Structure 1
Amino acid sequence: MSRLVGEPLGETPAEPYSGPEFWQRVERLLHIHRSQRRPASLKNEAAFHRWVLRYGLRMAGHSYDRLDHPPPTPPADWTQAFSQLLPAPPPESELYAQGRIDLDSTWRRAQRLAFHLAPGASVLFLGDDDATSIALSLLDRYAIAVVDLDPRVLDWLGQSGLPLELEQADVRSLPRRFQQAFEAVVIDPAREATLGAAFVRAALACLAPGGLLGWSDHPDWNHAYPKLDGLLSGLELVEEQPCWHRYAIAYWDDSTAHFHGLDPDWMRRLCQSIALWSNLRLLRG
């Protein structure tokens, strides 16, 4: 990765950069391409391509940091138990704005939730294409409900045979019985303002007083992050785990490379070498 980030700067490092050295190259590239700052909106082409380069390069920095400081991984018996409960997941769908974390990340999320929850707690997942509901069920007994708009996800989770309440619904029109009904609500919302805000508002509406909200997101990925964070300003942050969840990154097309005058092959190799990351924030109402 050091050679990759050094390439457009004319550098061919003989040894891997240190973490600070790698980030210096990231910031230099962002400065050269006028992409250091978060654009006010993504409504024009220039802002969009600067944002794409910004989040791609900053995710490269986070991926580089994780090489030296990898996150925890689940015990082998847990992984085996999970794999025996569920078949392979359905393919991700752009229609439902899906982006699945890997299995290790699913365990990490569930493990931190379980740390803060009493056995038997009521937990609502607003979207669960990652099967964190299953992961949490393997750690202790909980009363778990899952809402998802994608019927394939609900069918998949149902194959576990676990006593989950599975509800096909849009987060913008949830059943009235869900209002303030859950001791914990978990969201990994779409990385955009309107739908992301709908997830946050739905989570707040379903959370019982004093309940725990699990929010997965990252300010270097989601342009709407400040807006969503503002919606949660009334909650108390009880734990934050940076770069806790790993997602595969997809290469869209060559338009961002062409806009910045970069080699499209270099952009493709960058995407193949890094991951997207989200932080886990646990907040209490």
Structure 2
Amino acid sequence: MTTRRLVLAAPALLLSTAARAQSQRTVRLVVPFPAGGATDGLARLWAPAFSQRIGLPVVVDNRPGAAGVPAADVVAKAAPDGLTLLLATSSIASTGPAVNPALPYDVERDFLPLSLLAVSPSLVLVSTTVPAQTLEEFIAWARARRGQVNYGSSGVGTGPHLAGALFDRLADTGMVHVPYRGTGPVYAELRRGDVHALMDVPSTAAPHLQGGTVRALAVTSPAPTPLAPGLRPAREAVPGFEAETWFGVYGPAGLPAATAAQYTTAASEAIRDPALTARLADLGAEVRGADGPALAAVARAEREKWTRLVRDLGIKPEG
């Protein structure tokens, strides 16, 4: 009788152990930027909705520093078990490899694109000491002062630098690039009029626009966007010019097809949650919610565009 009870109890014990093991599985969402920024904010808003759809807890793991390379490397080398994901931006899979091809991973080979979540345009900002009221006026003003007009950025090879360089090249303004460590110092110089222009995202620019220290002349998205109401796309004055930051989710290469399909569906559905749309807009992000192949296509096209610019202008990574 005792033996029979043990035999009957064994399946129940196995089921209980399996359920407990499943409940202890946690997905780590690696974010290559510090807490408090736009990417971190997007991750923390999106993660609970994603978690609900995949039936597993999701924790945000901030790993800032070195342009996101160490954070991305963690995911590239993680086991393909669905428990380690990367919330990447353009700097990880597009602008970063364009500026610094000597990375410890291959963005095409070592990652599996799962979902494009959102995009964020930049604003073409000028100091209020600049007399131009429109983008066309600014271009004419800069062309008349070649070598005397500058644009600031948060550092060599960053998004604001590359966007400014592309604008300068296509608009033929002859501006000088002035790199800083972060955009904070750039705004201080814009206020004084020592820097004339900057490409920056709406969320960061907002307090400076409200304070009247900078003026927005255009948006860098290919079409008008609710994130910058009333602003025309810069490409209307500068054909071919557009620059957006994208946000997407990647897993390590080798992720099982069934897991990848589940995560792709859950990621796209989660980002389209109506409750998130307005909150993400406050962060300067416009929802896209596309699948892995769409993310791969966007990342590849952007990487090729920025690689050409970096090569043609001879831009080298700092350090």
- What TM-score, normalized by structure 2, do the two folds share? 0.26
- Decide which structure has the larger Cα Rg and report it: 2
Task: Compare relative contact order (CA 8 Å, sep 6+) and give the higher one, 1 or 2.
Answer: 2
